[in-house]
Amino acid sequence: MVEVVITAPANAEPGGHYAAAFFSTLPPEETGQIGLGENTGALFLVTVPGDINKDMRLLEFGANGKWFNRLPVEFFTRVENRSNIHFKPRGTI
């Protein structure tokens, strides 16, 4: 297990910020002609507390067609995030 600690600078603006951590293996120290290694990364969505503006707008909602005689029905949405934090739109129909 790897523990990652993210500390925002004291002057960081409130709201959503990104951080990333990348991890890789060390290639073997042999002097062969081919070296293999693995890499992976993790993206962190971090919220710095303070004056948070929550403003998300539903711009469009619909389905691909008007009449449906079988399931599943596919819906689509278009949203606009005007806030200073990350949103994960979700809902129930």
* Mean pLDDT of the region 63-86: 92
* Percentage of residues of the chain with pLDDT beyond 70: 98
Could you tell me if 7 and 39 lie in one domain?
yes
Could you tell me if 3 and 37 lie in one domain?
yes
Range of the domain at 84: 53-93
Q: What is the pTM of this model?
A: 0.64
pLDDT surpasses 80 at 31: no
Question: What pLDDT does 43 receive?
Answer: 95
Q: Report residue 53: phi and psi, to 5°.
A: -105, 115
Could you tell me if 63 and 44 lie in one domain?
no
Could you tell me if 8 and 41 lie in one domain?
yes
Could you tell me if 59 and 41 lie in one domain?
no
The single-letter code of the amino acid at 43 is L
Could you tell me if 42 and 59 lie in one domain?
no
Could you tell me if 89 and 72 lie in one domain?
yes
Residue count of the chain: 93
Could you tell me if 14 and 46 lie in one domain?
yes
Show Cβ contacts of residue 82 under 8 Å, excluding neighbours closer than 6 positions.
Answer: 53, 55, 56, 57
